[in-house]
Amino acid sequence: MAGMLLGATAQGIPGDERLQQLQNLALGEIGVVGQTSNRLLDPTALLPAMINVDCLIHGVLQCVCGLGWIWTMIKREQIRARFDIPGTPLNDYCVSFWCQCCAIIQHDNEMATRMPKPLDLLKKQPLPLPEMSMPGTST
């Protein structure tokens, strides 16, 4: 009786704790989508932002109507096209629909592996700057 008053379920885990675990999972997934998208847009970012338009679109599609897999499939096709990764639209559909979290992690891993590393970009020598001169004068 006391367990029922505290909201315990048959498995012994309070219902609020389960909801919190699901929210953390969803927010983590949405954050990875944002991070991957940011890596696509700005490969020089030292710390890719996790919140952007792509993560918000994915979050609304996933949390409101359960159609986040469609956005995942679209992003999967974009990554394939950018890096010439072989695959088929049917395969992208199947992976995105039946194992969306796996596809999202795979996207992030591909981006982390294939994109230039920000620290490698910092190690490159900058191009020499031209000499300064006054406008209208010739040297």
The DSSP symbol for 115 reads S
pLDDT at 19: 59
Please, which residues have CB within 8 angstroms of residue 67's CB and are 6 or more apart in sequence? 61
pLDDT of residue 98: 92
Contact 73, 96 (CB under 8 A): yes
Q: What CA–CA distance (Å, rounded) separates 9 from 121?
A: 52
Q: How far apart are CA 98 and CA 70, in angstroms?
A: 11
Give alpha helix (H) positions in the chain. Answer: 2-5, 15-41, 53-65, 68-83, 89-98, 100-114, 118-123
Mean pLDDT per segment of 10 residues, for the chain of length 139 residues? 40 55 63 81 74 83 87 90 89 90 85 72 63 68
pTM value is: 0.62
The per-residue pLDDT for 24 is 55
Residue 138: what pLDDT? 63
Amino acid at 131: E
In the numeric block, which tokens belong to residue 125?
A: 């020598």
